[in-house]
Structure 1
Amino acid sequence: MPVPTEERVVALLSDLVHGKGFDLEGVTVVSAGKHSAVKIMVDREEGIDLDALPALSRDIAEAFDGVSDFGDAPYTLEVTTPGIDRPLTEDRHWRRARGRSVRIELADEKFDGRVGHLDGQSVTVVTRTKGVLATRTVELSKVIKAVVQVEFSRPKADEMELAGGVVGGRPAPADSDEIVNVETPEEGSDK
């Protein structure tokens, strides 16, 4: 495959990926001699299960095979989700990170907090300083960098409650036997 530009891959795949219910988070194209590599990063609101990526990968490969400007040279196609080290740059990234620990860098400070509700152009962040919990509002336009942090223990229930509760599919807080504010389908519904 002649090395397509990232812009060409985005143009080719945007409608396909969105039509399958995913957000196209990034495209990387690398030429390695006669063998190219194309990495497609996707995400979606409800998360991605292991069966979804192979099916999407097949659809993307078919789209590549259906265009003539990619040629016949071998290439490696990787369809993946963004890693935990992906910066939070879009509103949807902040929404998906609700309840997670994040390191935020502003012009004059860096701090760790737990992502709360996104409200227009700002996000509520739960901080803990010397054992005292507080919330603060951070304007997204002032964030230089924000990255989800790896946590090796379950979050504290009081932090999660201030952050707006547990987002579906995430573990319950460490000092709570029940999940706080989880939205679940009503019994008997087909959701």
Structure 2
Amino acid sequence: MAVRSGNDQQASIRRTTLEAELRVEAQRVRTRLQPVVERHNLYLEDVDIKVAGSHRTVNVVVDLPEGASGSVGLDVISAISTDLSAAMDAAPEDDDRPYSLEISSPGVSRPLTEPRHWRRNVGRMIEVKLVNGDLVLGRLQEVTDDGVRILPQLPVKKGMKPKQGDPQLLPFGRISRGTVQVEFAHADDEHHEHSEGTDPETSGDVHHGQGDPHGH
């Protein structure tokens, strides 16, 4: 049995302590930035902080509110970035450590982990992995408090028109993971009415806090 050295144990303790401190700091930043995000009619999806030496990288993910269609454009991200940076600099607990503020919107690669994620993607093609390992590919028709209704796309030979199965009701308790599938629809596709949901959500990174009067 391997025995960990004292240095390894100390490093593990420091790492665990740092991770806990970053979670607390991320929650504090989230509380401060949330009103700013809401003023721009957006939803604050996540705040994550990473540290390299004395430098912090604050990752902020914003999304459209539930019920809105489309995605967050780069122009919207650019507009909100100035206000978020100002809110960061005005924080009473700001200790003048250098930081980079990165703002983005979730793309189609984001796993669907919350009901609001599913509701934002009604009409899109979704791959659902069930807890038993089975995969269900189909169009998301409806989201309820208890689960989702999928119109399955049945496997066919290459070159053949996709076939649909009977709608399936999948409780959230049976779902391990859901991901949006990027579609490349043709003009004559019978599902052209869903084409607005085939494009991946626009995402972009805006870096702030470097070279401002506060040294951020």
1:41 — aligned with what? 61
1:145 to 167, 177, 188: 177
Task: Write the mapping of 1:1-191 to structure 2, written as runs, cut at 5 A.
Answer: 5-44=25-64, 45-46=68-69, 47-108=71-132, 109-129=134-154, 130=156, 131-134=162-165, 135-151=167-183, 153-154=184-185, 157-158=189-190, 160=191, 166=194, 169-170=196-197
Matched residue count: 165
Higher Cα Rg, which structure: 2
CA contact (8 A) 2:124 2:197 kept: no
Deviations 1:61-96 (A, max 9, x none): 111111131222221101101132211122221122
Equivalent position SS for 2:102: strand
Counterpart Cα distance in 2 of 1:94 and 1:60: 27
The code of the aligned residue for 2:163 comes to V
Distance in 2 of aligned mates of 1:119 and 1:30:
35
TM-score by length of 2: 0.67
Counterpart CA distance in 2 for 1:127 and 1:17 is 36
Higher helix share: 2
What secondary structure does 2:86 align onto? helix
- The one-letter code sitting in structure 2 at the alignment partner of 1:141 is G
Which residue type is aligned with residue 128 of structure 1?
Answer: Q
Q: Identity across aligned pairs (percent)?
A: 28
Q: Name stretches of at least 5 consecutive residues in structure 2 with no aligned partner.
A: 1-20, 157-161, 200-216
User: Aligned AA for 2:111?
Assistant: P
Contact 2:138 2:151 in 1 (8 A): yes
Task: Give, in whole Å, the separation in 2 of the partners of 1:150 and 1:170.
Answer: 9
For 1:59 and 1:10, locate their aligned partners in 2 and report how far apart those are by CA, in whole Å.
14
Q: Secondary structure at 1:144's aligned position in 2?
A: strand
What TM-score results when the alignment is normalised by the length of structure 1?
A: 0.75
1:132 Cα deviation after fit: 3.3
Which of the pair has the greater relative contact order for Cα pairs under 8 Å at 6+ separation? 2
Q: Which amino acid aligns with 2:75?
A: D
- Gaps of at least 5 residues in structure 1 are 173-191
CA distance in 2 between counterparts of 1:65 and 1:18 reads 19
